[in-house]
A and B are shown apart, each in its own frame.
Chain A
Amino acid sequence: MTAAVARETSFSRASLALTKRWLWRLRREPMGIIAALIQPAIWLILFGNLFQNGVAGAEGNYIAFMTAGVVVMTVFNGSMSGGVEILFDRESKMFERLVAAPIPPLAVMTSRFGFVLGLTAIQSTIIFLVSAALGVETASGIGGYLLIVLTGMLLGVGILGLSTALAFGLSNHGPFFAISSFISLPLIFASNALAPIENMPGWLQTVARLNPMSYAISNVRELMLEGYNWPVLGTTVAVLLAFDAVMLTICLWTMRRALS
């Protein structure tokens, strides 16, 4: 009954199989799906109305101003927590078992990236639909919407790279949650997600201008409120690609260390 031919499994086939695994698990967690999809919309409605008259510099409709921030924060939160499943796999030795299959180990990582980024793209779409229902019009139309999703993806790759690097670099999930919480809030507040950079103290403006989230939010906000701004779009793509390259390099390094 033994097999005569030893065949390696291709990268694409392995990535597809591992992505299916996440989808099978998602199907089994209906409350998780509902929470993941509804939470950003609740943020938009709740904070949009709460700060409608309270944020200086956010001219016009604050819900429109904040939609960009909520899109990017949703991508950020989903990506920041996205790597933890790899850490759970390492803790349970599932990761070891997966890489004992004839697959390129990178497929474990790419399947997770594909799943998380796909999910955040769906979340972003729901935010747009909710904001549209609340009367917000996207100045750049459907093309702008696609560029907004692309911007979210570019930021998501870098953040997920950071999260996955933590998953490969740490030995258990306690420190993972401590570090990701420690990083998350300062990064959100030291960005233009909730208020314009010009309204911040000088030192915080410097931090915000070094924060890749700010670039993503600026670009999304331009596309939402003003239309196509090619210099902003170009700068954003360049900054986020550089951010992604750094984070993916760190991520791959930690993965190789974990494998060895």
Chain B
Amino acid sequence: MSKPAIQISGLRKTYGKVVAVDGLDLEIETGEIFGLLGPNGAGKTTTIATILGVSRPTGGSVTVFGLDSVRSARKIRAMTGYVMQQIALDRYLTGRENCRLHGELFGLTGANRDQRVEEVLAWADLLDAAGRVVNTYSGGMMRRLDLAISMLHQPRLIVLDEPTLGLDIETRRKLWALIGRMKAQGVTILLTTHYLEEASRLCDRVGIMHKGKLVGLGPPEDLKRDVVGELHQLQVTLSGSIALDGLNLPVRPERENGHLVFNAAPERLWETLGILQHTLPEEIQMVSYDQPTLDDVFLKLTNSEVRA
């Protein structure tokens, strides 16, 4: 079994009296897409800053591919691509010049640099726009350029901090495809996002942080099952007000806005629905079924509202 890409042991980071990260233990496997989720102020950005060696831990340790984040910060940055929440490009340079600049900052020179620049521009489907000043790009193009730059030096780890924030769904889907291609190339990806559907779709595993601690960890499907497994929901709308007392339903409903709402494990809900369809076939007007989402997991573990 290969060594973890990132190993965080007892990480603690304080700013004065404020505890940003409080004893975090986490391992991120090589080649996986790991989602770090949590409400604002949960400690995600501080954790990223310590991984990149930009911020020193108050306690504990972080290693990236076996390198200590304090002693080998620049070496870690040399093998890491970083896409920040805010698009950070020189808008007065062309797309190609931005790539060349960052290529040189990552030690690429001459023909090797130029070849990599053209490769990543093609990878991000930006070759046609590469000679244009970035100021003329759409938000989606800028984000694609951002991702392309993060791939220039062929990093082993890419940290994506809210990469799709504020983008329309079509652009988000394009970026998801690019992230999928990064993974296919063997890159380990650490992703933070407020779009839980995105985390659910992209991530092999997610960790949910709350008040500086890890409160949930695992594959999205496992977390849904383990944390909110009993919360599948069946909604049934009946015509008129019909008494259900004599039906002997396995799940007792709650009445909400004229609907019957049943919360239970899937098999008990299907049994309930079967009885209703058998005894009240004419009265059923509408049936809907909701599976638990990562949003439910998030809400249950953090007791907070999901912020878009």
Interface residues of A (CB under 8 A from B): 1-3, 6-9, 13-14, 16-18, 20-21, 24-25, 28, 92-94, 96-104, 259-260
Q: B88 contacts the other chain (Cβ, under 8 Å)?
A: yes
5 shortest A-B CB distances, which residue pairs? A17-B104, A102-B78, A97-B88, A101-B105, A6-B78
B107 interface contact, C-beta 8 A: yes
Residues of chain A contacted by B102 (CB below 8 angstroms): 101
Segment touching A, from B152-160, B208-216, B238-246, B257-265 = B152-160
| Interchain pairs with CB closer than 8 A, number | 94
Which chain A residue shows the least CB distance to B149?
A: A97
Task: Give chain A nearest CB distance to B242 CB in angstroms.
Answer: 59
- Which chain B residues (48-100) contact chain A, with CB distance < 8 Å? 52, 54-55, 67, 74-80, 82, 84, 86, 88-93, 97
The CA of A20 and the CA of B133, in the complex, are separated in Å by 16
Q: Which residues of B contact A100 (CB under 8 A)?
A: 52, 54, 77, 80, 82, 84
Chief secondary structure at chain B's binding surface: loop
Q: A97-B88, A100-B82 are in contact. Are A6 and B54 (CB under 8 A)?
A: no
Q: List 5 A-B contacts (CB under 8 A).
A: A6-B75, A9-B106, A16-B104, A28-B92, A101-B106
Tell me which of B79, B84, B90, B105 contacts A3 (CB under 8 A). B79
Q: Which of B84, B101, B186 contacts A1 (CB 8 A)?
A: B186
Q: Report the bound CA distance from A2 to B107 in whole Å.
A: 15
Contact A102 B90 (CB under 8 A): no
Contact A8–B78 (Cβ < 8 Å): yes
Of A16, A18, A24, A102, the contact of B106 (CB 8 Å cutoff): A102
Beta-carbon contacts of B185-201 to A below 8 Å, as 1s and 0s?
A: 11100000000000000
Contact B90 A94 (CB under 8 A): yes
B155 contacts which chain A residues (CB < 8 A)?
2-3
Of chain A, the residue at the smallest CB distance from B98 is A21
Give the residue of A8, A24, A260 whose beta carbon is less than 8 angstroms from that of B74. Answer: A8
List the A side residues contacting B104 at CB < 8 Å. 9, 13-14, 16-17, 20
Q: In the complex, what distance in Å separates the CA atom of A103 from the CA atom of B54? A: 12
Whole-angstrom distance between the alpha carbons of A117 and B67 in the complex?
Answer: 39
Would A93 and B93 count as touching, CB distance under 8 A? Answer: no
Nearest A residue to B187 by beta-carbon distance? A2
Knowing A8-B74, A96-B84, A102-B74, the reply to whether A25 touches B154 (Cβ < 8 A) is no
Say whether A7 contacts B186, CB under 8 Å.
no
Contact check, B76 vs A25: say whether CB atoms are below 8 A apart: no
Q: Do B54 and A28 touch across chains, with their CB atoms under 8 A apart?
A: no
Beyond A20-B104, A96-B84, A260-B55: 6 further Cβ-contacts under 8 Å? A8-B78, A8-B107, A97-B84, A101-B106, A102-B74, A102-B78
In the bound complex, CA of A3 to CA of B186 (Å): 11
Residues on B with beta carbons closer than 8 Å to the beta carbon of A97: 82, 84, 88
Residue of B nearest to A108 (CB): B105
Question: Inside 8 A of A24's CB, which chain B residues have their CB?
Answer: 93, 97, 101
Across the two chains, which residue of chain A brings its CB closest to B159?
A100
Query: Is there contact, CB below 8 Å, between B88 and A3?
Result: no
Closest Cβ of chain A to B279, distance in Å, is 61
Whole-angstrom distance between the Cβ of A3 and the nearest chain B Cβ? 4
Smallest Cβ distance from A20 to chain B, in angstroms? 7
Evaluate whether A7 and B154 lie within 8 angstroms (CB atoms) in the complex, with A21-B90, A102-B75 already known.
Answer: no
